[in-house]
Amino acid sequence: MNPFNLRNNALFLSCWHERTRPVQLICFFVVLSSILLLMCTIVSKFSRAADEMAAAYLAVFVVIQALIFLVQGTLCAAYIGSREKISGTLDFHRNSPESVRTKIFGLIFGSTWLEWAVFAGLMLIQIPFVWMAEVPWFNFLLWNVSIIMTGLFFHTVGLSLSMLSAKKSRGSAIGILMLIIFLGGPFILAMMEAFDSSLIVYLLGMNAIVYLIQDVDLPTLGYFYWFRLPNLLIQILVQMPIVVLLLQGLSRVFQKPNSPVWSKTHILVFCGYIFACITGFLVAEHNFNPLFRSHSYSRFNQPGDDIFFYIIFYAIVGFLICGACVPSYFKLSKFFALRGSGLIQGVNIMGDGASSVFVLLMYILMGCVFVIPYALIGTESIARSVLAIGMTSLYIAIFAGFLEYFRLSPLRNNRIFFVTVIGVAWIIIPWVSVIMFTDLEFGMETLGGISPFGGIGMAIATLADGLKSEYMTAMIIPIIMLGIIWTMVYHEHQRVKLQSLSLQ
Amino acid sequence: MNVAEITNLRVDYDEVVAVQGVSFNLEAGKIYGFVGPNGAGKTSTIKAMAGIIEPKLGQIVLDGFNLETQRDKALSHVGYMPDFPPVYERLKVWEYLDVFAAAYGLNERERPAHVRKWIDRVNLNVKSDALIKGLSRGMRQRLVLAKILETNPKILLLDEPASGLDPIARMQMRDLLKQARDEGATILISSHILSELADFVDSVIILEKGKLIVAGSIAEIRERLGGVYRVIVQFEDDIRGSEILTQVAHQRNIDPGRITRDRSRHIVDFGSSQHDATQFLGQLIANGAVLTECMIKSQDIEEIFLKLGAKEVA
């Protein structure tokens, strides 16, 4: 079946039928026209000359086009994904003889066909204004290509998030998305601004602005590692590999209905790619300095900030990896059951049922490798930088063990218990200990060190002051904890193994 | 020829074993009743066969393709209908069938006539342009049944399809399924109400507590079980009649435990031989018993199930 033949694409048709109700379409276009009319009336009050007026109208159409295509399109993609999952119709499509490519194509373009249509319509309307405002046609083309790329990226993210959400809660998918876009976005942006805003600029396609707003001093060329490249190319380099990974995840939704959306391999590749990207922008910044700095999106205030934020970013990614790669009871149990029956299919260290140990080791290795450029560029030694990453990794490994133990133990279904233990063990106890024993010679780093943030603190302290004996003392507590928690995990593995084999 | 082969299937939900060691085959062109009380593992087995849930162990081969390794091919000719029909609430009836006709390769020129035909078959003509969200559960069941049948599957897996249907719709559903069977489809239909299935299935597969108790045709199961023919008599003079009955039973070495009473009716259980039951009845009459009511009845499938459950699952 030809995936591009949309009139015979089932998932596209289901969305097409749903969104072609005359009343809904009329209402949508009435609201859209009203907003456009209102905004054009407002901007016309502030513009005098014809070219100014044209530029103002163009800005109105461009903003509305981007909002509908990027925000509404993403929400619709998420809604359609959730709807398929909740209604159970996804199971029908899983079993249909259409190719997975056709299904994914139908899902992505079916859920957003109206937004694509609006995008194309507004693009046509913009043409006379582009001509009147004397915006170069090539820039107009680049703007549209850039927005299309970002739209594709956003829509795929929306769809993927909806597939991650709980089966019965449609609201959660859309809620997560809204949270990320409207609350998480600025937060991440604020954090990344100091860290490496180039990544977030290209990831969110914000570089597109430079094609239309030419009087702003923004770069039309970007810098990545040792290369000076067009912004659009860097945007494609940043967004498209992630789109490919997301599409592979979506294909798993159809092919492996009971497995996580992303495999461990996908997660490691994603993780490595993101590390490679941020390192690329860091290398570029220092390589093209001072030329780069004067035109860069990045603004590091002090030398050494980059490695500081790298460690925070590394820790956040680590916690996310723990959540995604720790196996569920069912998966581990199946892993043992298959191995026990001599069936080796699906039994490998990167399988869904395998322990998170190997992924953690790979993640730590990646963290150590990608910290080297920071050490080379900054003032810290490679050994100290690697040690700092190692300290953070220690805490990530404790958290992974903690999570793995809970996912396998008989208490795994008791979420209240889980949240309570996490809260007490990782937040309350460290803080009570710190308050009670601050006079002890270990200091806050030691006792606060058993919280997940303690690792980051110690890593930063090591970088700043060098390796001191009290940090070595402080390392002992997490190492003991690591030993205890992974011994508990080992015993839980043995229990699940025995249970799985005895029931055969 | 087997179109489905299930070997040593095991389905777990967390630590609860829903299905364990279940093996059976489905032959082409037959209707199978999948029977068992609530929680027996019927739905889990059907879902595993439809690829909706992942079994922990075991092998499912559908139409010659292993579900684990050749998923797409194995499921391409399987029609699955869950107990709660999955529908697009905001689509119209004809649009729903149009979507799935497209999924199974019908092009846009062929689809309208095809969709109309199936809407007619399930008697949803008057609702053709109605939104699905306004349909009753029974209508939705019929719609999903039409969706499944329109794709011409080789294997049909139906999970409690009759629930929510009125008696007329049930009869129509049976006719549709028989028609599908005659066209070569193999149908596995689950129900916890055995009498629903008894008169139109070719074979039954009985599950209890996640394990397969017995599989085979109803006649075979009766044969294997024994004690399935039953003589029911009512005498004009109950005292005299009872005496004759006891006497004849003694002469024919019938265990008194096989004689029971339901108000004024006397019930005698026999083996699988209908001949013994007939002879017993003849001898009663020959010995002077005056009967106001008499019948030889084969034990119904419901009772067989209860008997099997008591015997083999205890």
Measured in angstroms, the CA of A150 and the nearest CA of chain B are apart by 29
- Rounded CA-CA distance B66/B51 in Å is 11
CB contact under 8 A, B82 and A334: no
| H/E segment holding residue B83 | none
Residues from chain B contacting residue A95 (CB–CB below 8 Å) = 50-51, 75-76, 78, 80
Measured in angstroms, the CA of B160 and the nearest CA of chain A are apart by 16
The stretches of A221-345 forming alpha helices (DSSP H) are 231-255, 264-287, 291-295, 305-325, 329-340
- Asked whether the beta carbons of B232 and B223 are under 8 A apart, the reply is no
CB contact under 8 A, B92 and A17: yes
In this structure, the number of other CB atoms found within 10 A of the CB of residue A168 comes to 9
- Rounded CA-CA distance A59/A212 in Å is 9
Per-residue pLDDT of A476-488, as tens digits, reads 777 888 898 899 9
User: Please, what's the b/e burial string for A291-309 (b: 16 or more CB within 10 A of its CB; e: otherwise)?
Assistant: ebeeebbbebeeebebbbb
User: Please, what's the b/e burial string for A173-182 (b: 16 or more CB within 10 A of its CB; e: otherwise)?
Assistant: bbebbbebbe
B68 touches chain A (CB under 8 A): yes
SS (H, E, C) B177-238: HHHHHHCCCEEEEEECCHHHHHCCCCEEEEEECCEEEEEEEHHHHHHHHCCCEEEEEEECCH
Mutation to test the A interface, candidates B7, B56, B92, B99, most A Cβ within 10 Å:
B99
CB contact under 8 A, A330 and B95: no
Q: Where does A347-494 show beta strands of DSSP type E?
A: none
Length of chain B: 314
| Ordered structural domains, chain B, with CATH | 2-217 (3.40.50.300), 229-298 (3.30.70.3400)
- Rounded CA-CA distance B221/B100 in Å is 39
Burial of A88 (0-12, 13-18, 19+ CB in 10 A): middle
pLDDT in 10s for each residue of chain B, 314 residues: 889 999 999 998 877 889 988 999 999 999 998 888 888 899 999 999 998 888 888 899 999 999 888 887 888 888 999 888 899 999 999 999 999 999 988 888 899 999 999 999 888 999 999 999 999 888 898 899 999 998 888 999 999 888 777 888 888 888 888 888 998 899 999 887 666 677 778 888 988 888 988 888 877 776 666 556 788 888 888 888 888 888 888 888 888 888 888 888 888 887 767 788 888 888 888 888 888 888 887 766 666 666 665 454 43
Q: What's the pTM?
A: 0.82
- Asked whether the beta carbons of A450 and A424 are under 8 A apart, the reply is no
- Asked whether the beta carbons of B17 and A504 are under 8 A apart, the reply is no
Which residues, 6 or more positions from B133, have their beta carbon under 8 angstroms from its beta carbon? Answer: B89, B90
Alpha-carbon Rg for chain B, nearest whole angstrom, is 24
CB contact under 8 A, B69 and A1: no
SS (H, E, C) A412-441: HHCHHHHHHHHHHHHHHHHHHHHHHCCCCC
B160: phi > 0 → left, psi -120 to 50 → alpha, else beta; which? left
Band of residue A300 on the pLDDT scale cut at 50, 70, 90: very low
CB contact under 8 A, B51 and A341: no
Nearest CA in chain B to A329: B14
CA atoms within 13 A on the CB side of A448: 16
